[in-house]
């Protein structure tokens, strides 16, 4: 009976949340609720335009037409068109002239105006000949944005459940992470544009995900090729949800017709740094087996990688004792969830290394080494280092586990020796290409040359040390614990920047509060371990900076280009543990009853999702 009552109770709360979110959605439609119509306009004047059946065809690059509308208020302006390529056009009303671009992938422009039009006249300018238009309409119909309503619905329902069941979530913080992370992340997959060029280098990651370990040819549909070649489905070309739905339908059709098209890749190099794309590859293969359309393929590939991130972080939180709440907060950073829902291998690296560090802390607590934890630690660090070997030095943390925790000194020496060899092998994949001259400069251009830059470092190491120190002092704080590290949304930042500062400040305060509020056992996180953490952190910082100096910085420059805060997210836990307060007594980690631990990460993700939808990206 109790379970039945809980289900009924949650169902009632869900109904209330749905009703509130629907009312809010009606509020967004308040100006058209009494209208809800689609009206034709009257063409009262035109220049360099001729009638062609039902179409009006431009015959010069200076054509225009003037239309008369019946009602003063205009919500959206529609017209059908035909043209062989993308084209620019302008709309003028209320003494304002606005430029637009329309795509040849679809055949209808639906643009938001949402204002009263003076004199009830609108003027359209076309700057190319042979553009055909017809069915010019004023669209004052009610339009329910279901993704916006879904965000509001889950914001209300999720917040209530987190508050009501807070004791349960505090006792099982890893389950709170599942609840918050899955809702926030899956929503982000739904509302984000279904194309690349939303996060850093995602067009490269998309191609790598499809190719995986293949060397010569891979099936790559024309739809995937189109978005990979910088066809952006955003507010610059498709400005309303109706247009986005239309282009996705076109991409679905194109994907179905060309899914067997082969892309020549000719990659015969190392494969070890491609294993990280396995979750994406699984999603793409499942989509191919069941003949998913473009949207389904794109979403499933992202979903599989996101679930990999969720799974790794779940176990990192679950096995943690002292750092449980810190890992919980880091795992729900907007930047981590955002990248985990895009085409990027950074969140997999972050989750793997975080789980590895959580395992290392547990090894420090144990009187005797748990071999399963030890192997998992090594596996996690190797997995996170395969695409970016700069994190390989974390393996050397094993050297600082006391020998008496192993079954014997001989076993300790063997394991530590193998760890050293593995670290050297991993690091060689990073170092040797530079010394062998096989690393190219920045493909985007500029005076970059890795070999020449390396020669400068070797001939003048003192000067390079000064460059590193300067960068650490000037740019370090922003990269190591700045707002982009917490709230980075890459190329969608323009849509979320108005709330990013507030989210950054609240999450930073939350993180620092729980870092200094909880005490850590000095027997586990000793001063010696903190010093080791500091050395490893500094070493990885130097490796990151050096990699960017060699590959992305103009030869001889006195600064370092290309460093991004996301490179330091995997190391944030190490930095925080250096700062963590410790005591000489054994302290059990107490479950916090501060509801903000649950609500701030949840609100952060939901607000970002709402702004992505509100600014016109979601459908």
Residue with tokens 């054509």: 63
SS3 262: strand
Which residue in 580, 529, 602, 611 sits closest to 177, CA to CA? 602
State the pTM of this model: 0.93
- Taking CA atoms, 161 is separated from 37, 155, 245, 327, 454, in Å, by 40, 10, 33, 22, 56
Please tell me what DSSP assigns to residue 155.
Answer: H
More confident residue, 254 or 494: 254
CA distance 107 to 191: 23
Indicate the class that CATH gives domain 37-140.
mainly beta
CATH 2.60.120.430 intervals, the chain? 37-140
Indicate if the pLDDT at residue 590 is higher than 60. no
pLDDT category of residue 444 using cuts at 50, 70 and 90? very low
CA distance 586 to 523: 8
Phi and psi at 115, nearest 5°, equal -160, 165
Q: Return the pLDDT at 1.
A: 54
Q: Return the pLDDT at 452.
A: 83
Indicate if the pLDDT at residue 440 is higher than 60. no
- Mean pLDDT, range 364-387, rounded to an integer: 94
Please tell me what DSSP assigns to residue 370.
Answer: -
Q: Return the pLDDT at 592.
A: 55
SS3 58: strand
Chain segment 362-374, per-residue pLDDT in tens: 999 999 999 999 9
Asked if 298 and 411 count as a contact pair (C-beta separation under 8 A), the reply is no
- Mean pLDDT, range 309-337, rounded to an integer: 96
Chain segment 507-557, per-residue pLDDT in tens: 999 999 999 988 788 888 899 999 999 999 999 999 999 989 988 888 888
Chain segment 26-35, per-residue pLDDT in tens: 999 999 999 9
Q: Return the pLDDT at 559.
A: 87
Indicate if the pLDDT at residue 587 is higher than 60. no
SS3 319: helix
Indicate if the pLDDT at residue 352 is higher than 90. yes
Q: Return the pLDDT at 107.
A: 93
Q: Return the pLDDT at 50.
A: 94
- Taking CA atoms, 212 is separated from 130, 216, 274, 308, in Å, by 44, 11, 6, 16
CA distance 35 to 198: 37
- Mean pLDDT, range 130-156, rounded to an integer: 94
Which residue in 307, 328, 321, 304 sits closest to 175, CA to CA? 328
Residues in the chain: 619
Which residue in 349, 429, 357, 253 sits closest to 573, CA to CA? 357
pLDDT category of residue 231 using cuts at 50, 70 and 90? low
Other beta carbons within 10 Å of 562 = 17
Asked if 202 and 344 count as a contact pair (C-beta separation under 8 A), the reply is yes
More confident residue, 360 or 589: 360
Which value, to the nearest 10 degrees, does the dihedral of the CA atoms of residues 607, 613, 615, 619 take? 180
Chain segment 249-260, per-residue pLDDT in tens: 999 999 999 988
Q: Return the pLDDT at 591.
A: 54
Indicate if the pLDDT at residue 160 is higher than 50. yes
Q: How many CA atoms lie within 13 A of 564 on its CB side?
A: 15
pLDDT category of residue 443 using cuts at 50, 70 and 90? very low
- Mean pLDDT, range 131-150, rounded to an integer: 93
Q: Work out the mean pLDDT of the chain and round it to a whole number.
A: 90
Q: Return the pLDDT at 134.
A: 95
Q: Return the pLDDT at 13.
A: 94
The rounded radius of gyration (Å) of the Cα atoms in the chain is: 28
Q: Return the pLDDT at 109.
A: 94
Which residue in 309, 339, 298 sits closest to 206, CA to CA? 298
- Taking CA atoms, 92 is separated from 86, 96, 251, 575, in Å, by 20, 5, 31, 55
pLDDT category of residue 496 using cuts at 50, 70 and 90? confident
CA distance 45 to 39: 19
Phi and psi at 101, nearest 5°, equal -130, 135
Indicate if the pLDDT at residue 616 is higher than 70. no
Asked if 129 and 82 count as a contact pair (C-beta separation under 8 A), the reply is no
Q: Return the pLDDT at 562.
A: 86
- Mean pLDDT, range 452-481, rounded to an integer: 88
Residue with tokens 């609500």: 599
Phi and psi at 261, nearest 5°, equal -60, 135
Q: Return the pLDDT at 445.
A: 42
CA distance 444 to 79: 39
Phi and psi at 478, nearest 5°, equal -65, -35
Q: Over pLDDT 90: what percentage of the chain?
A: 68
Q: Over pLDDT 70: what percentage of the chain?
A: 94
Q: Return the pLDDT at 447.
A: 66
Ranges 43-52, 167-176, 177-186, 429-438: which has the least confidence: 429-438
Phi and psi at 427, nearest 5°, equal -65, -30
Chain segment 162-212, per-residue pLDDT in tens: 999 999 999 999 999 999 999 999 999 999 988 898 999 999 999 999 999
């Amino acid at each position: 009976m109790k379970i039945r009552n809980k289900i009924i109770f949650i169902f009632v709360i869900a109904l209330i949340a749905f009703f509130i979110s629907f009312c809010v959605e009606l509020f967004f439609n308040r100006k058209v609720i009494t209208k809800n119509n689609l009206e034709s306009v009257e063409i009262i004047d035109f220049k360099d335009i001729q009638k062609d059946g039902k179409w009006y065809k431009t015959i010069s690059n200076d054509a225009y037409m003037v239309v008369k509308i019946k009602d003063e208020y205009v919500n959206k302006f529609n017209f059908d068109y035909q043209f062989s390529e993308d084209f620019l056009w302008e709309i003028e009303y209320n003494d304002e002239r606005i430029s637009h671009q329309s795509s040849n992938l679809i055949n209808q422009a639906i643009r938001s105006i949402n204002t009263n039009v003076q004199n009830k006249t609108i003027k359209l300018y076309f700057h190319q000949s042979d553009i055909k238009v017809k069915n010019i309409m004023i669209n004052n119909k009610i339009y329910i944005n279901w993704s916006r309503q879904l965000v509001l619905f889950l914001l209300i329902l999720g917040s209530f459940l987190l508050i009501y069941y807070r004791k349960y979530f505090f006792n099982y913080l890893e389950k709170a992470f599942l609840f918050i992370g899955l809702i926030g992340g899956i929503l982000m997959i739904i509302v984000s544009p279904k194309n690349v060029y939303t996060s850093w280098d995602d067009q490269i990651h998309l191609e790598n995900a499809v190719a995986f370990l293949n060397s010569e040819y891979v099936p790559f549909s024309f739809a995937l090729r189109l978005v990979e070649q910088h066809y952006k489905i955003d507010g610059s070309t498709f400005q309303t949800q109706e247009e986005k739905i239309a282009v996705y339908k076109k991409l679905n059709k194109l994907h179905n017709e060309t899914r067997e098209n082969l892309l020549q890749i000719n990659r015969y190099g190392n494969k070890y740094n491609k294993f990280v794309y396995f979750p994406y590859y699984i999603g793409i293969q499942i989509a191919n087996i069941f003949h998913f359309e473009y949207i389904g393929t794109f979403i499933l590939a992202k979903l599989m990688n996101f679930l990999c991130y969720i799974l790794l972080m779940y176990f990192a939180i679950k096995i943690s004792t002292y750092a449980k709440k810190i890992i919980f907060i880091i795992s729900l950073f907007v930047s981590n969830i955002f990248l985990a829902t895009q085409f990027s291998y950074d969140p997999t690296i972050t989750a793997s290394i975080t789980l590895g560090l959580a395992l290392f802390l547990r090894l420090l607590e144990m009187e005797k080494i748990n071999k399963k934890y030890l192997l998992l630690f090594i596996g996690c660090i190797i997995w996170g280092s395969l695409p970016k070997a700069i994190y390989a030095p974390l393996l050397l943390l094993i050297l600082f586990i006391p020998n008496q925790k192993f079954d014997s000194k001989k076993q300790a020496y063997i394991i530590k020796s193998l760890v050293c060899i593995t670290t050297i092998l991993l690091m060689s994949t990073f170092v040797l290409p530079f010394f062998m001259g096989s690393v190219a400069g920045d493909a985007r251009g500029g005076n970059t040359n890795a070999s020449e830059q390396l020669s400068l470092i070797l001939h003048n190491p003192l000067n390079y040390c000064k460059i590193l120190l300067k960068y650490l002092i000037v740019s370090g704080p922003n990269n190591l614990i700045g707002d982009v590290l917490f709230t980075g949304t890459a190329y969608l930042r323009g849509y979320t920047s108005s709330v990013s500062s507030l989210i950054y400040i609240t999450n930073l305060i939350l993180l620092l509060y729980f870092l200094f509020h909880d005490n850590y056992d000095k027997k586990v996180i000793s001063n010696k371990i903190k010093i080791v953490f500091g050395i490893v952190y500094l070493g990885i910082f130097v490796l990151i900076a050096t990699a960017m100096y060699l590959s992305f910085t103009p030869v001889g420059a006195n600064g370092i280009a290309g460093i991004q805060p996301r490179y330091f997210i995997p190391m944030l836990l190490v930095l925080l543990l250096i700062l963590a307060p410790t005591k000489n007594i054994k302290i059990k980690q107490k479950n916090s009853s501060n509801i903000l631990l649950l609500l701030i990460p949840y609100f952060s993700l939901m607000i970002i999702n709402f702004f992505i939808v509100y600014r016109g990206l979601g459908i």
